Structures are given as structure tokens and as C-alpha cells.
Amino acid sequence: MPSPPLPAVCDAVLLSEEQIRRRVTELGETITREYEGHDLRLVTVLRGGIVFLADLVREIDLPLHLDFMAVSPYSPGRGGVVRVTKDLDEDIAGTSVVLVEDVIDTGLTVNYILKLLRAHGPRSLEVCALLDKDVRRIADVPIAHLGFAIPDHFVIGYGLDLQGRYRNLPYIATLKEEVLRSR
């Protein structure tokens, strides 16, 4: 029995708190090794990525800056074009940027954000994603640092939401089929 207990909308725990913790520690160690001596900026897209970001930064033993963007889809369900509702606060020109994302699904959102970030002239730009659902990929996204490749299931918890809820679950769980169908 997971703690807190699995919400009724969930089918099963896909990734436990312990599994996530171990992997996030490894990712932090890798980033620490690879970005030593760089002007490191972690950029996260609100809001799904913040739980992952909060744990990840505490596993990175380097000076770094955090910045945030927020986007909203222009037309829900028809990805590709997103509207920026909150832009970066700091200039990233010449810095080493790691874009931290919760999940790469079709890849359209990240692909668009990468284009925007590239236009600011960073020295380097890499993606660190907790989850990759590559069977649904439309836009090719290079993921330099990946937590877990997962099957094509809608998941919630650890920052990921279902209509705004369940972001605070400490584990990642799959939704029941009937909940998915009624969405």
C-alpha cells in the first residue's frame, strides 16, 4: 500500500518515491560532473516540472540559477503552437541552459520552447526530462538527461496533474482506463 494511499482515479503506482529519488540523485550527479565550471541555468516550464526541479537542484553540487517560463496552448488538443504567458526573468545569453521538464509526450511543447530559448543565444542548451513517452512523439526532441522511459499511459503525481489535481502525490501513478475515457 503506497503512502499516501492510491487515489480512486488511479490504476497502479508506476514509479515509487524510492525509485524516483534514486534516479533524481543520479541525474543530479551527472549534471554536477558535466557542468562543472559553467554558468549553469536551470529553466523549468510551469507548473508540472517544479517538483522534479526542486528535488533535482538539491542533488546538483554546483552554483546555479533558476528561471521559469509558463506557456498555454493556443488551442487545446491541437499542439504545436503555444503562447508564452510568463517569459524568463534573467538573460541567458552565453550561459549553459538545462531545460527541466516533467514529461515529453508529443514533444511539441518542448520543441517550441527550445526554439524560443535558442533565440536568446545560450552557450549550450540541453533537455533534462523526468519522463519520456516516446511512442507518442511528433516533434523530435533531443533528451540529454532522462529519468525514465515510460509506456503511453497518462500518469499523475510528482508534479503531474489531472485537471490541476494530484501534483502533490510523492509517487507517479497511472490513471484508470475509465477515468481516461471520461476526460
For ligand IMP, the binding residue among 15, 102, 113, 143 (CB under 6 A) is 102
Q: Smaller CB distance to Mg ion: residue 48 or 107?
A: 48
For ligand IMP, the binding residue among 160, 166, 169, 171 (CB under 6 A) is 160
Assign 3-class secondary structure to 63-74.
Answer: CEEEEEEEEEEC
- Alpha carbon distance 180, 154 (integer Å): 8
Which residues make up the interface to Mg ion (CB under 5 A)?
48
Q: Smaller CB distance to ligand IMP: residue 54 or 91?
A: 54
109 scored as a contact of ligand IMP (CB under 6 A): yes
Residue burial 145-164, b: 16+ Cβ < 10 Å; e: rest? bbbeebeeebbbbbbbebee
CA proximity to 155, closest of 47, 12, 2: 12
Q: Smaller CB distance to ligand IMP: residue 35 or 56?
A: 56
C-alpha cell of residue 124: 549550450
C-alpha cell of residue 66: 533558476
- Alpha carbon distance 5, 13 (integer Å): 10
Active site residue 105: yes
157 scored as a contact of ligand IMP (CB under 6 A): no
20 scored as a contact of ligand IMP (CB under 6 A): no
- Alpha carbon distance 111, 109 (integer Å): 5
Active-site residue identified among 105, 132, 140, 152: 105
Least CB distance from residue 175 to ligand IMP, whole Å? 8
Q: Smaller CB distance to ligand IMP: residue 55 or 105?
A: 105
154 scored as a contact of ligand IMP (CB under 6 A): yes
Helix (H) or strand (E) holding 30: helix 17-34
Q: Which of residues 25-84 bind ligand IMP (CB under 6 A)?
A: 48, 79
| HSE (side-chain half, CA atoms, 13 Å) at 119 | 8
Site residues, ligand IMP (CB under 6 A): 48, 79, 102-110, 154-156, 160-161
Catalytic residues: 105
